[in-house]
Amino acid sequence: MTDIEDLTARIRAFADARSWEPFHTPKNLAMALAGEAGELLAELQWLNDEQISAGMSGSDLRERVRMEVADVFMYLVRFADVTGIDLAQATLDKLARNELRYPVEKSRGNASKYDEL
């Protein structure tokens, strides 16, 4: 299993080898991340839930979605690297916060926001 540190190093090396540092500003990376998230959404935009479920079990759709997910993830990892955010720790911190905001007994089966529970 590959960990976040290994992926961060590989993505950094990829960018460094191409001298992309001047382009990889926080703003540019955030915009690229949003663009890739939009491309992911575009793959699913006009499909209903049944079509998505069927398509994710081994079709061309699955591969297109898989590649868009990878693009989103790579830009997120690069953004965190450039801004000095420990992605794993930030995720653990946010998960702990959400566990408090969304207690199981109040939020199970409920899609309401934490301040509406």
What is the per-residue pLDDT across 7-46, written as a single tens digit (0 to 9) for each?
999 999 999 999 999 999 999 999 999 999 999 999 999 9
Q: Which domains does the chain have, with CATH numbers?
A: 4-13+26-106 (1.10.287.1080)
Dig out the tokens for 79 from the structure.
Answer: 């953004």
Q: How far apart are CA 19 and CA 107, in angstroms?
A: 47
Say yes or no to pLDDT of 2 above 80. Answer: no
pLDDT digits (tens, 9 = 90+) for 21-32: 999 999 999 999
Q: pLDDT at position 1, please? A: 66
For 85, which DSSP code?
A: -
Task: Find the angle CA(92)-CA(15)-CA(23) to the nearest 5 degrees.
Answer: 95
Q: What is the mean pLDDT of the chain?
A: 95
pTM of the predicted model, to two decimals? 0.90
pLDDT digits (tens, 9 = 90+) for 97-112: 999 999 999 888 988 8
CB count within 10 Å of CB 34 equals 12
Q: pLDDT at position 32, please? A: 99
